[in-house]
Structure 1
Amino acid sequence: MALLAMPAGAQVHKCVLPDGSSSYTSAPCEGGEAQPLDGISVTPGMPEAERQRLEQLSREREQERRQQQADRSHQRIEETNSEVRRIQSENADPEKCAEARNSLMLMQQGGVPDYDTNLFMAKQAVQLYCYP
């Protein structure tokens, strides 16, 4: 990373130290052996204004991505709600609705075995038959 922040026209020196480790510097090697560097380009540091512009662009793209994700989620919710309304209108039945409401009322008064499961099913029946 330090190589990328060097000024334009700078040279990079790879120094192999006596212990075999390598270091990279902008100054000639001291107490080590210089080795040529092929394929390394040094890029000057980015001007502050350009860095800020790129950061702003990145923030704007992230905000746009989040908005698109929220829009897709909202569209899926609307499609699901539309499908629920279609199914409910196909299943609307005044007689079954009255029975389901009566069952729900009895459940809520208590004294029914397996209360949680039966209450859930009674609520589902009301939603299915009573809401066209």
Structure 2
Amino acid sequence: PDVAQASGRFSPTVAPIGHRRASLNLARRTTRSMQSDAPRDEILPDEDAIRWAEAYRQKRASKRKRKEEEDDDRVLVGTKVDESHANWVTAYNMLTGIRVSVSRTNAKLDRELTDADFEAKQKSTFDITGNELV
């Protein structure tokens, strides 16, 4: 009797002798070329490939530079206040005051807060570089 008909299957259940299962042969064979046998140092690079790689590097560098410039100009919240903005001086003075007051607070030893700490006032004057004038 025929094996396929006897078992009810269309493919034989008994593997031919000397034939391996396909799942054991899944490893990919390495592709070999004339250059694969030569040491890497002896292979001369293709001039077109070198030109293409250099153009690609320059394109990536210009994209990176443009993205960094865009990031510098982007404002996450609100309006960007640069030197041409009407509120530039106010913003600069405010940041200078915050910087000085925080540095003074951090220089003092920790202690319990009192009501007088919240009512104390001190007027300071700064030059254009942010140094305090006494």
Greater relative contact order (Cα 8 A, min sep 6): structure 1 or 2? 1
Instruction: Report which of the two structures shows the higher radius of gyration computed on alpha carbons.
Output: 2
TM-score, structure 2 length as denominator? Answer: 0.32
Whichever structure has more strand as a proportion of its residues is 1
Whichever structure has more helix as a proportion of its residues is 1
TM-score, structure 1 length as denominator? Answer: 0.32
